[in-house]
């Protein structure tokens, strides 16, 4: 994943995060998952996946216009007052064109003016084009060669955005040996505190899934501080549990693959003890709009 964008805004957020760190240390064990929505010690993150932003603003798929969807969602996301926003891959329409990212950057402008926007890479992204347009800030980027891995440290949660982009515009994904080794070493050496993983690809054993998902879970399993794995790719909104970790399959905001699925984003309130996730559906199946799912990890 990558981050964006405007340094002045990130600086302001950084200062604010610093103040939060102090508050978190001062109040110690006072956190509870149930207080996630109202405690100032929480971390509000707007989570998006599969924006599929096209260069052509009128591009349409299954009756959805991904450009319009993001355009519509950004004011709502800004109004929700997040401290950060994250796009979990497939930021670009299909092949990660320069013009796709230029449109994305423009659409995200009002949001990036308020908080850092972190962007991970999926199978419809193009690493070089992404970097050229977005120019992600290096302070979030881990040292993993040819992969865009982000580490976001917040007093209540640590976020690791992994990079599963293997081949542009082909379905399968892979972390690869270097990234897996980095992940293992990072978890071994970092101060153990609640950590959540973001990765674009689905975690099954199919040919279009994350091809080394078994090995990834093998790495994560011994670390109880890893609480959840968020992923996208399937354009489905679902929850699960595996190897002691919560699983969150994020809805797409660009379009769904099935009429029974919502299109939208997720308003996340993290606390030390868990996360409350509110679905913000803007299209597709709206039945679960505003539904809150609470994950506890104490
Ligand atoms: Zn997608």
pLDDT at res. 157: 96
The Å distance, Cα 210 to ligand 1 centre, comes to 13
pLDDT at res. 4: 52
pLDDT at res. 38: 40
Ion ligand 1 — residues with CB < 5 Å: 50, 90
The Å distance, Cα 251 to ligand 1 centre, comes to 10
The Å distance, Cα 122 to ligand 1 centre, comes to 8
CATH number of 2-296: 3.60.21.10
The Å distance, Cα 65 to ligand 1 centre, comes to 14
Is residue 42 exposed (0-12), middle (13-18) or buried (19+ Cβ within 10 Å)? buried
Predicted structure pTM score: 0.88
8 Å CB contact between 46 and 285? no
Nearest-CA neighbor of 157 among 274, 246, 77? 274
From the first residue on, what is the mean pLDDT of each consecutive set of 10 residues in the chain (298 residues)?
39 36 31 41 95 98 98 98 97 97 97 96 97 92 94 96 97 98 98 97 98 98 98 98 97 98 98 97 98 95
Q: What residues does each domain of the chain span? A: 2-296
Structure tokens at 79: 């109004």
pLDDT at res. 205: 96
pLDDT at res. 19: 36
Nearest-CA neighbor of 90 among 147, 119, 50? 50
The Å distance, Cα 86 to ligand 1 centre, comes to 15
């Amino acid at each position: 994943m990558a981050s964006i964008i405007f340094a002045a805004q990130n600086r302001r957020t950084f200062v604010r995060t610093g103040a939060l760190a102090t508050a978190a240390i001062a109040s110690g064990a006072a956190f509870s998952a149930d207080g996630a929505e109202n405690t100032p010690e929480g971390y509000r993150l707007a989570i998006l996946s599969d924006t599929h932003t096209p260069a052509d603003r009128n591009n349409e798929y299954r009756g959805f216009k991904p450009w319009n969807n993001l355009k519509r969602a950004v004011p709502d996301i800004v109004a929700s007052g997040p401290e950060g926003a994250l796009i979990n891959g497939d930021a670009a329409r299909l092949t990660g064109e320069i013009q796709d990212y230029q449109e994305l950057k423009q659409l995200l402008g009002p949001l990036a003016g308020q908080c850092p926007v972190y962007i991970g890479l999926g199978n419809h992204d193009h690493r070089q084009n992404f970097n050229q347009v977005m120019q992600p800030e290096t302070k979030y980027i881990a040292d993993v060669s040819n992969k865009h891995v982000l580490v976001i440290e917040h007093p209540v949660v640590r976020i690791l955005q992994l990079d599963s982009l293997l081949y542009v515009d082909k379905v399968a994904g892979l972390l690869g040996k270097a990234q897996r080794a980095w992940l293992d070493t990072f978890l071994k050496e970092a101060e153990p505190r609640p950590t959540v993983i973001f990765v674009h690809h689905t975690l099954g054993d199919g040919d279009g899934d994350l091809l080394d998902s078994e090995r990834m879970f093998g790495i994560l399993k011994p670390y109880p501080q890893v609480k959840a794995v968020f992923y996208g790719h399937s354009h489905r909104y679902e929850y699960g549990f595996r190897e002691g970790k919560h699983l969150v399959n994020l809805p797409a905001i660009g379009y769904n693959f099935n009429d029974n699925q919502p299109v939208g984003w997720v308003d996340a309130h993290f606390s030390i003890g868990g996360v409350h996730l509110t679905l913000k559906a803007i299209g597709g199946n709206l039945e679960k709009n505003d539904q809150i799912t609470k994950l506890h990890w104490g």
